[in-house]
Amino acid sequence: MALEFTDANFQKEVLESDKLTVIDFWAEWCGPCRAIGPVIEELAKDYEGKVKIGKVNVDNNPNVSVNYGITSIPAILFIKGGKIVDKQIGAVPKSVLDKKIQANM
Please identify every residue annotated as catalytic: 30, 33
- DSSP string covering 29-44: T-HHHHHHHHHHHHHH
DSSP state of 55: E
- C-alpha distances out from residue 2 to 17, 43, 69, 71, Å: 16, 8, 22, 22
Give the containing element (helix H, strand E) for 67.
Answer: helix 62-67
Of the CA atoms within 13 Å of residue 47, those in its CB half-sphere come to: 26
